[in-house]
Chain A
Amino acid sequence: MYQFQKYDGMTKNKVSFGQLKTLTIGLFVCLIVSTAYVERVFAEESNAQLSPGLQFMLGASEHYAQVGAAFYVSELYYLDQAGKQHSLKFEDSPNSQARIGLVKLSNENAAQTLALALPAAGQLIKGLGFTLGVPRDLNHGYPLRAEKPLNDATMFWTWQQGYKFLRLDLAGGDKRAALHLGATGCESPAPVRPPQKPCAQPNRVDFVWKFDTARELKNIWNIELNLAYLDEQFDALGDFQMCSGFYANDTFCAAWIESLGLDLERGQCQSSCKHQQLFRMRL
């Protein structure tokens, strides 16, 4: 049986606090190194199956030689076999926290994956959906306390308006365009005060893909940013096109907003957002 008595040895061979400290630190360092090692071995072993996520990719474009795209993806969910909605979380990463991820694509960086934190493995799903944009409760938070991925000044308008949900910066031929989508018609006493009411045009776009046959959730879901549809709008594009609010005032911007499935006045999808052509899932 274990005897408490055994500890007597300690009092006899006096160990100084300094020695004890060095010893403890040494021990701890060993522990850290070894746990990290074990983890790595395991990670390598199971890596191939381990990074389920949404992989966003730039599609091909006929007209635009230079493309910069950045957007927020939030409110992720899947549909189970009965068609019921279950919310999903992103892995914590430099570009994401549970509820929201930021994707930045360019010619140099044409693909980016937002990893999924799987609830439990092995689900079969019949659909996947998310919102393009920042949920209202996160969109007007105190900007200086913003956590990643909302701490990116290039995606921020004002406290009142919140974030740019989507920005497309395009150049092709002699034309250049900056198409920035975000909430408009937000009312508060000043740009540095958050609105109390929802903005008149929330301009968030919901996407959902439904599958005929069930698929495993644990997967890489390839989603293409469809530039071909922007190509279609090329002729209507001015030489220096900018859409960053006042969308209804400009024929090109108005058409662009409507091509996202959004109603100009209400800033919501008509009945559903299924007419959008911005994203395509490649199964």
Chain B
Amino acid sequence: MVVNLNTFTYARHVFVMRVGTFIRATVVFSLFFLFACSKPTPSWEWDLPPDFNPPIVPADNPMSKQKVDLGRYLFYEKALSGNGEQSCATCHQQQYAFAENRGLSIGSTGEVHHRNALSLTNAAYNKSLTWAQPELKLLERQILIPLFGDQPVEMQLNQQKTLAYLKQSQLYRELFQAAFPNDPDPIHLDNGVKALASFVRSLISFNSPFDRYAWYGEDAALNEAEIRGMTLFMSERTECRHCHGGFNFSLSSTHLNSVEGPEDFHNTGLYNPRNEVKLDLGLFEFSLQEKDKGRFRPPTLRNIALTAPYMHDGSIATLEEVLEFYAAGGREISEGLYAGDGRSHPNKSLFLHGFVLSEEEKQDMLAFLHALTDRQFIQNPAFSAPGKVK
């Protein structure tokens, strides 16, 4: 008889694997019980629809109510800016879903930012942060930009002065102490940033009429026009879903149980100037690759009706004009500095092929975009300015 050696080795391997897996499972289980008995883990309750996956939180900054509390005070704290007149909330206002109602932001020295303030709706789920920085994935790192950035100037934090101010405040001493109980000297920049990041992570919004319809099964949450608009939005005709798909209306979103996709940045045909002019080139500024010119991250469309004006430079005023822009397959600018036809930009996404909408269909789509507004989010007292700090 011929003994198939490979078969034997294989069977033995499988057996060893099984035994190994069994032993390890037993061990992990026992360890779990040993620890479970002795150490309560701090926890945070995410306010999510059924079966939603929570966002990814870095291991060195777990969520806690105390940190979020402190972060909220800091978010509204004007002492964080060099001139004492600006806080995060100057540019990220709750009534506008934590964006602002101006095209380009203005920093604490009056310098105009080259970009439109992003809404912080569900920022915890963003795969990368800002309009176009693929490597910027951690809120803890992003937050250093408004605090210290000088190109452009945002808040121009004076660290010494601000820390001195925080330390002399009874309230801040208590808040920092509660948030970082194991740190003997908790008032320092690193902890402040961790608390701000925790607060921004807590800005979760999944309670729009769309969410009630989609995830809670409430058939009455959307009316017929809104459902027709959603059907158009998610169709191959408009292809909005291609970039603004998924649970967060942005394919650049991720959660604990999702995988990465390659296509996080797109050129939507906004610009294609005939003349050499200085222009925000988005992803190109990082990769320096020709194919990345004019590519930006599709932002979430949640609460989009609250965050006008639109696009990375706030150059489209209303949602109706955004729809006309997409229907035309991009934007032609006929005169001025940026004159040129964005529609024929070589990097423009294939999915912006243009389409024709009847007036009724346009109204339906607008109705749907408005149904992405979460009223509870902009009225939630847990996110609003805390009382005055003494």
Binding site for B on A (CB under 8 A): 21, 24-25, 28, 31-32, 35-36, 38-39, 42-43, 45-46, 49-50, 68, 94, 118, 121-122, 142-145, 148-149, 151-154, 156-158, 160, 176-178, 189-192, 218, 240-242, 244-246
| A142 and B9 form a contact (CB under 8 A) | no
| A121 and B7 form a contact (CB under 8 A) | yes
| B23 and A49 form a contact (CB under 8 A) | no
Residues in A with CB closer than 8 Å to B350 are 176-178, 240-242
State whether A28 and B230 are in contact (beta carbons under 8 Å apart), knowing that A39-B16, A154-B262, A246-B236 are contacts in the complex: no
A120 to chain B, nearest CB (A): 8
Q: Does B280 contact A (CB under 8 A)?
A: no
Within 8 A of A (CB), among B1-50: 4, 6-7, 9-13, 16-17, 19-20, 23-24, 27, 30-31, 34, 38, 49
A182 to chain B, nearest CB (A): 10
Name the residue of chain A whose CB is nearest to the CB of B233. A191
| A154 and B263 form a contact (CB under 8 A) | yes
Name the residue of chain B whose CB is nearest to the CB of A43. B13
| B257 and A151 form a contact (CB under 8 A) | yes
Residues in B with CB closer than 8 Å to A192 are 213-214, 230
Inter-chain CA distance A191–B241, complex, in Å, is: 11
Interface residue tally of chain B, by bracket? 35 or more
Q: Does B170 contact A (CB under 8 A)?
A: no
Say what secondary structure dominates the interface of chain A.
mixed
| A38 and B51 form a contact (CB under 8 A) | no
Residues in A with CB closer than 8 Å to B351 are 178, 242
Inter-chain CA distance A158–B262, complex, in Å, is: 19
Name the residue of chain B whose CB is nearest to the CB of A161. B234
In the assembled complex, 29 residue pairs joining A and B whose CB atoms fall closer than 8 Å, in A order, are A21-B38, A25-B34, A32-B24, A45-B13, A46-B10, A46-B12, A46-B13, A49-B9, A50-B13, A68-B262, A121-B4, A142-B51, A143-B247, A151-B259, A152-B258, A153-B246, A153-B253, A154-B251, A154-B262, A158-B234, A160-B234, A176-B350, A178-B350, A189-B219, A192-B213, A240-B353, A244-B236, A244-B239, A246-B237
| A144 and B215 form a contact (CB under 8 A) | yes
Residues in B with CB closer than 8 Å to A21 are 34, 38
Partner of A191, one of B12, B31, B234, B246: B234
Residues in A with CB closer than 8 Å to B13 are 42-43, 45-46, 50
| B30 and A24 form a contact (CB under 8 A) | yes
Q: Does B245 contact A (CB under 8 A)?
A: yes
Residues in A with CB closer than 8 Å to B242 are 244
| B230 and A190 form a contact (CB under 8 A) | yes
